[in-house]
């Protein structure tokens, strides 16, 4: 049976830290679905279409990665995709506390979907989409934290 993991997030924008987690996921699972969660109540810096396009470009040569978006509960999306795993990255103890809570609730919702946590490489622990958005807004150097295909410099803010 094909093992499928969903890697859910907002990816506003997609970073080298996210990419690292997906590469590690590909060593564990047959397929990784990068799932961009759409939350009507949350405003993002980059439109959904752009975030999807950039991520698709990062994995243009990787047939084991699919890029999708979804609304509503992550666990329902996993069921729809036939995914048995939720992949998440951990940078800090803070990430762990937050992720643990979500994973326990997800497991109540559907115990057949297992959350799997992957530690961030040391060099990516300081990388977050929030910090990168701040750098972008304020003219800082941010390109080093993003995969080449994530061409945010072509966007207008
Ligand atoms: P969310 O809106 O769910 O926080 P994000 O796009 O910020 O979504 O992150 C998605 C996933 O990627 C989360 O599991 C998060 O912990 C992980 N992640 C984000 N940045 C990094 C990083 N630098 N290294 C490892 N994992 C990361």
CATH code of 4-151, in short, is: 3.40.50.620
Give CA separation, 88 vs 97, 134, 144, in Å: 13, 23, 22
State how far the Cα of 139 lies from the Cα of 73, in Å rounded to an integer: 35
Res 69: pLDDT: 98
Letter string b/e over residues 43-59, b meaning 16 or more CB atoms within 10 A of that residue's CB: ebbbeeebbbebbeebb
**Mean pLDDT split into 10-residue runs, the chain, 157 residues:** 96 98 98 96 95 98 98 98 98 95 98 97 95 96 97 78
Separation of CA 77 and ligand 1 centre (Å): 18
Separation of CA 120 and ligand 1 centre (Å): 9
Task: Determine which helix (DSSP H) or strand (DSSP E) holds 67, and give its type and residue range.
Answer: strand 65-71
State how far the Cα of 123 lies from the Cα of 26, in Å rounded to an integer: 20
Contact 51, 82 (CB under 8 A): no
Ligand 1 atom closest to the Cα of residue 87 is: 14
Nearest CA to ligand 1 atom 15: 89
Nearest CA to ligand 1 atom 22: 17
Q: Which two tokens stand for residue 31?
A: 């397929």
Ligand 1 atom closest to the Cα of residue 125 is: 23
Separation of CA 9 and ligand 1 centre (Å): 6
Res 154: pLDDT: 78
Res 134: pLDDT: 97
Res 157: pLDDT: 58
């Amino acid at each position: 049976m094909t093992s499928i993991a969903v890697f859910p997030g907002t990816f506003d924008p997609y970073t080298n830290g996210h990419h690292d987690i997906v590469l590690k996921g590909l060593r564990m699972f047959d397929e990784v679905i990068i799932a961009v969660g759409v939350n009507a109540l949350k405003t993002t810096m980059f439109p959904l279409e752009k975030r999807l396009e950039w991520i698709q470009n990062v994995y243009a040569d990787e047939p084991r990665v699919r890029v999708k978006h979804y609304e509503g509960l992550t666990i329902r999306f996993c069921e729809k995709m036939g995914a048995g795993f939720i992949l998440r990255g951990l940078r800090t103890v803070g990430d762990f506390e937050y992720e643990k809570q979500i994973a326990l609730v997800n497991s109540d919702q559907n115990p057949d979907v297992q959350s799997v946590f992957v530690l961030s490489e040391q060099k990516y622990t300081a990388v977050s989409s929030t910090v990168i958005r701040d750098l972008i807004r304020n003219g800082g150097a941010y390109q080093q934290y993003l995969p080449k295909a994530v061409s945010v410099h072509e966007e207008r803010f």
